[in-house]
Amino acid sequence: MRRIWRANTVTVTVLAVLLALVVGAVLIVFGNEEVLGEYGYFFAQPGTPLGDSLRLVAEGYANLFKGSIVDPSAVSGAIAGTNNWSLVFSPISETLTYTAPLIFTGLAVALAFRAGLFNIGAHGQVIMGCVGGAVVGFGLPLPPGLHPIAALLGAALGGAALALIAGVLKARTGAHEVIVTIMLNYIAFWFLQWIITKPGVHDPTRTDAISKTIDNTAKLPSLGNGLRINLGIVLGVLAAAGVAWLLNRSTKGFEMRAVGLNPDAARTAGMSVGGAYVLAMGLSGALAGLGGGVVVLGTASDLTGQVAGTIGFDGITVALLGRGRPWGVVASAVLFGALHAGGNRMQQVSHLAIDLVTVVQAVIVIFIAAPALVKAIFRLRQPGGGLSTGLAKGW
């Protein structure tokens, strides 16, 4: 993983995103049978298919932009007084709403990476965070102000508890955290399916598998009238600042980084390698759990089988794109949030499947994982020929 980051400059990251959008454009064209059909007459009328393709792609990406950042027509409408100002802020609100949980899961994976652990279990930890947050959210009668704090605490504990199983097993027995966390993902998933049907959690007024509704006192306060954006995004940025401080400015972070880069040297210098693994995994799980908490206390109102969505797995992607650094995670979470929000509009207006956005995300990550490919495409110079595999050992 570290080698991947070292080979990736910011340039490569940006170029990877651009390349992915190009791949997305090709897919948009291939997805449209009408335009695709025009290519049959390419040599007779080359202008038609090319022009139509361009138009199609431009329209799709314009809607991606309008859905995620701002729609110029809403701005002029608001100035003219024909529509509400909230329509202007709605795209950015949507983007940041999707961003918030991704910051948490991205930080979770990044923190574990820095300590040398590959936390594939963010998904399961998000689920436990959802359960922890929701149970406190509808189970404990608390006053507003205190309630969301308690519910977030429940979410963090839920995620941390699951992650600690992997952390402790790794520290004590050397069990590989990748295998353990993958398995814990299944356990968490089926635990959620089970618990939402059980009395005390299940909503007795419903026949389907759904939990009680979370008390309004526990919800995260909204940041704008009529908008979905809530305190979660602020908490996410604060969490990034906290993780940045922890990693770079604290003794525990120093330990975790040292263990992540060279556990043997860390141990020889008197550090507790197992202790660092447990701490990193616990914090990672807590962050992922908070990601789940932000979902259930922010946008969802109850637990369903699919409440956690894919934010756990997206966290891995976000952490990779953010190169394992807290502020990089924030930036890539915003990008993914924007792709998601814009993808919704693309689907509604341009009738392009939202899955396209998922493909674009995946392609970004493939390019990130293969920096040599991006460099070759753009013919970036290799300092010191970093590509050749070093076979020769020794002095």
Residues of this chain that interact with other proteins (CB under 8 A) are 2, 249-252, 254-255, 257-258, 261-262, 264-272, 391-395
Residue with tokens 């609100």: 93
CB of 172 to other proteins, least distance (A): 15
Length reported for the chain = 395
In this complex, which beta carbon is closest to other proteins, that of residue 204 or of residue 385?
385
Shortest distance, CB of residue 354 to other proteins, whole angstroms? 39
To other proteins, the closest distance from the beta carbon of 365 in angstroms equals 23
Rounded-to-integer distance, Cα 179 and Cα 195, Å: 24
Identify which of residues 250 and 348 has a Cβ nearer to other proteins in the complex.
Answer: 250
Q: Are 368 and 332 in contact (CB under 8 A)?
A: no
CA atoms in the 13 A half-sphere facing the CB of 1: 22
Q: What are the phi and psi torsion angles at 280 (to 5°)?
A: -65, -40
Q: How far is residue 309's CA from residue 313's CA, in Å, rounded to a whole number?
A: 9
- CA–CA distance, 183 with 180 (Å, rounded to integer): 5
Cβ closest to other proteins, residue 44 vs residue 392: 392
Identify which of residues 204 and 394 has a Cβ nearer to other proteins in the complex: 394
CB of 110 to other proteins, least distance (A): 16
Largest Cα–Cα separation, the chain: 75
Residue 257 or 323: the one with the smaller Cβ distance to other proteins is 257
Identity of the residue, 44 or 391, whose beta carbon is nearer to other proteins in the bound complex: 391
Toward other proteins, which CB reaches closer, 238 or 261? Answer: 261
The C-alpha atoms of residue 66 and residue 58 are separated, in whole angstroms, by 12
Strand partners, 230: 222
Please report how close the Cβ of residue 258 comes to other proteins at its closest, in angstroms: 5
State the Rg of the chain over Cα: 23
Q: How far is the CB of 307 from other proteins (least distance, A)?
A: 35
* CA proximity to 292, closest of 45, 173, 127, 169: 127
Handedness of CA 142, 145, 151, 156 (dihedral sign): negative
In whole angstroms, the minimum distance from the beta carbon of 163 to other proteins comes to 21
